[in-house]
Structure 1
Amino acid sequence: MMLAKFSVKNYRGFSKRIEWDLSTPNNYEFNTEIIRNGVIKNGIIYGPNGSGKTNFGLALFDIVNHLAQRWKKPDYYANFIYVGNMNAPVEFEYTFKDADRTINYCYSKNSIGQLLTEKLTVDDQKIFERTNRKFDIDTDEFPMENVTKRNLKDNANFVSIINFLLTSYPLAKNHYLIALLQFVNSMLWFRCLDTREFIGLDLAPTNLDEYFIQNNLVEDFSEFLKQVSGQEYQFVKPRPNDKLLVCKIGGKDVLFDPIISTGTNALMLLYFWIQKMKSASFVFIDEFDAFYHFKLAFEVCKRLFALDCQVFTSSHNTYLMTNDLLRPDCNFIVNNNMIKPLSACTKKELRFGHNIEKLFRGNAFCV
């Protein structure tokens, strides 16, 4: 399953509906591995400061807050609603696709994140819909008594209808609700700026040193640093109960964490999440290269985009805006309450040989 389309309205800085469509790639004949089953698998989102890159990434992961039993951002619902329309709900819509079906899930929430409405359709067939006036459900698939329907319509405890159905009915292994939950449970958002933050995939924050030691990853982490950044560290072989990484410098044992740069610290976090991404479905890394040299960011992107899951990042680094890495339909610009691929921001026919970064710096793209 893949995320094919997402939209949100009245969320933080997005006063109007903003839609991100990953299901309409162009017919480029290069970097075709970036497209899977007609859906864009990898991409980078650019935009001026304050254009909404971070907020858009956070909006994508709202679904994790009420469907998944995973780690959540504690302050997620602070400043949740667009301040110019505080009385209106925040509206979300997701479209997921796999080889056999299309799942559309839309819902709305109030200012503190409580569910107000929900609607689920599968291949354009309505499964259920709950508004403040009615509750409808496909009773052929989910038979239920009238009292249950009334309680779900009132929804005094703001429970998700999807979670109720998942826990109340025996479902086949390949049922669309199980597939949807597995996808959402495996979503991951993270960033490493002044503080490390993440949403989804894992259950709690992890001590990275201890994780590397317990999972016998110290040598592999050392090789990772050498390959992507050229840094060579000789780590002391840890003992089973050690909790901190130690490296040798000038023949002396030195704790690793206090001596590393901000960029190496960010690489350490990235390496940790790459291990976890082997079971991820959808990943969004906010400002992933904030502390990286521009060439290092390119090497990191190649590794990320080679993963099996959908991976997207936000960045200001236009060195990454090249057909050697992605394609014009996989580089997105967010601005003025819109998000569009480069290929939709110009009338010029873009080809593999074009210098996309030079065109961008020359204001050839307009959202």
Structure 2
Amino acid sequence: MLTKFAVKNYRGFSDRIEWDLSNPSNYTFNTFAIKDGIVKNGIIYGPNGSGKSNLALALFDIILHLTQKSRNQHQMDTIINVYHPNDLMSFEYTFRFGQNAIEYYYSKDLLGIVKEKLILDGEVLFNLENNTLYIESDEFPMAEDIKKQLANSSNKVSILGYLWSVYPLTSVHPLKKMKEFVDGMLLFWNHEERGFAGLEDGISYIEEYIISNKLIDDFSQFLKSISNQDFKFKTANAGDKQLICDIGDGVPFSKIRSTGTSSLTLLYFWSQKMSKATFVMIDEFDAFYHFDLSFKVCQKLFSYANQIFVTSHNTYLMTNDLLRPDCNFIINKSQIKSLNLCTEKELRWGNNIEKMYRGNAFEI
């Protein structure tokens, strides 16, 4: 699981910002949101321009050089902070797998990785800095000429990626578990346009996917259960690429669904793949939802076993009926903190934390 992430000099983050999931409070309610002492589920709130989307993109930068999974153009655009264009972008990840802790650091410019270090259970496994690679682990024997080639590679290859590709690892090895975790990371959104990064190797067409996997009835039941919309679809034939509503001679689903229903369709598609995901982030997940629908969607999302976080402006979700204060985060001014760390007051089950938030009771 991911326990901590920090980034500096990336997009709007001129200063270092750290998101810590490793120190939940001792609340006795909604314990499903905590797993093995790590925050498993959460919602990130913040004013427009505070950095919610940038935090999500920064967190998923790791898939660009460690996986072959799909990436989005938003990630590939010029991303160095405009006030420090000559400084490196720095990324820090901490993972925990059972009793093993992995700290992974890298810094890069627009061309690729310049510095890279991995610490396993307190021991430095490798360190790349100043065009010099240090690696002395017996697990990864490497000739000095290979080290020099890697350290001075013109394509700035990731040392961790190289180790994963060259050295066989057992299924229980911490680095193997880290690879599986990173391969399973998923970010998606439905703003002015849809987009995603991670988990999948290519693009799928949602309605075609539903039809080809014989999920039409299941999708109809999903819409009914979560939004009380009663869509009846015609039986699809082999090779059909769009859902047809059973109205008159048939009406394409895409012609009559609302923007919110379109967003639910995207959610349904990814929910079919949640079993493969390890860490999921959905940016502005409820941009087109009724407030009550947002609550129901969160309940469904947080019932999965994997780490799942969403960003939102909807303070109706800021309630102990859904999560708990240490799982609601505020991001602003290059800081991100849980609600319980934004006030000196002791927050209890009976507190109306939404009312407190609107009354400026939380400072960051």
TM range (shorter): over 0.9
Deviation, structure 1 residue 240: 2.0
- Contact 1:132–1:154 (8 Å) recurs in 2: no
Shift of 1:34: 0.7
Q: List runs of 5+ in structure 2 lacking aligned partners.
A: none
Superposition CA RMSD, Å: 1.0
> Matches of 2:15 and 2:80 in 1, distance apart?
12
1:136 is matched with which residue? 134
Aligned to 2:176: 178
Identity of aligned residues (%): 53
Could you say what secondary structure the match of 1:212 adopts?
helix
Secondary structure of the residue aligned to 2:2 is strand
Q: Give the equivalent residue in structure 1 for 2:273.
A: 276
Q: How does 1:159-238 map to 2 (within 5 A)?
A: 159-238=157-236
Q: Name the stretch that deviates more: 284-293 or 201-210.
A: 201-210
Alignment of 1:67-216 (within 5 A): 67-112=66-111, 114-216=112-214
SS of the residue 1:71 aligns to: coil
Equivalent residues of 1:162, 1:177 under 8 A apart: no
The range that moved more, 306-315 or 132-141, is 132-141
Distance 2:275 2:144 in 1: 44
SS at match of 2:272: helix
Q: In structure 2, what is the Cα distance between the partners aligned to 1:286 and 1:39?
A: 21
Q: What do residues 153-202 of structure 1 show as CA deviations (whole Å, max 9, x unaligned)? A: 21222111111111212222222222111111100000011211000011
CA contact (8 A) 2:280 2:308 kept: yes
Contact 1:101 1:122 in 2 (8 A): yes
Quick one: distance in 1 between partners of 2:99 and 2:26?
Answer: 22
- Structure 1, unaligned stretches of length 5 or more? none
C-alpha deviations, 1:41-98, integer Å up to 9, x for none?
A: 0000000001000001100000000001100112423231111111110000000002
Do the aligned partners of 1:86 and 1:111 also contact (CA within 8 Å) in 2? no
Conservation of the 8 A alpha-carbon contact between 1:5 and 1:19: yes
Give the Cα separation in 2 of the matches to 1:330 and 1:72.
Answer: 28
2:21 paired residue number: 22
SS where residue 285 of structure 2 aligns?
coil
Given candidates 241, 259, 264, the residue that maps to 1:262 is 259
Distance 1:138 1:188 in 2: 33
Picking from 286, 290, 310, the partner of 1:289 is: 286
Deviation at 1:133, TM superposition (A): 4.3
- 1:239 paired residue number: 237
TM-score (normalizing by structure 1): 0.97
Displacement of 1:248: 1.5
Which whole-Å deviations, capped at 9, do the CAs of 1:189-225 have from their partners, x for residues lacking one? 0001121100001112211111001111110110110
Alpha-carbon separation, structure 1, partners of 2:108 and 2:131: 16
**Contact 2:102–2:120, Cα closer than 8 Å, also in 1:** yes
CA contact (8 A) 1:126 1:138 kept: no
Paired residues of 2:330 and 2:338 also in contact (CA < 8 A): yes
Q: What CA distance in whole angstroms lies between the structure 2 residues aligned with 1:102 and 1:187?
A: 18
Q: 3-state SS of the aligned residue for 2:79?
A: coil
Deviations 1:113-143 (A, max 9, x none): x111100011111100001242111232211
**Contact 1:128–1:137 (8 Å) recurs in 2:** yes
Counterpart-to-counterpart distance in 2, 1:139 and 1:230:
58
Letter in 2 for 1:231: Q
Corresponding residue of 2:9: 10
Pick from 341, 347, 350: which aligns with 2:347? 350
| Corresponding position of 1:324 | 321
4+ long deviations beyond 6 Å: none
Matched residues, number: 364
Counterparts of 1:176 and 1:151, CA distance in 2: 26
Kept in 2, the 8 Å contact 1:332–1:339? The answer is yes
SS of residue paired to 1:7: strand
From 286, 309, 314, the equivalent of 2:311 is: 314
CA distance in 1, matches of 2:165, 2:20: 31
2:36 maps to what in 1?
37
The partner residue of 2:298 within 291, 298, 301 is: 301
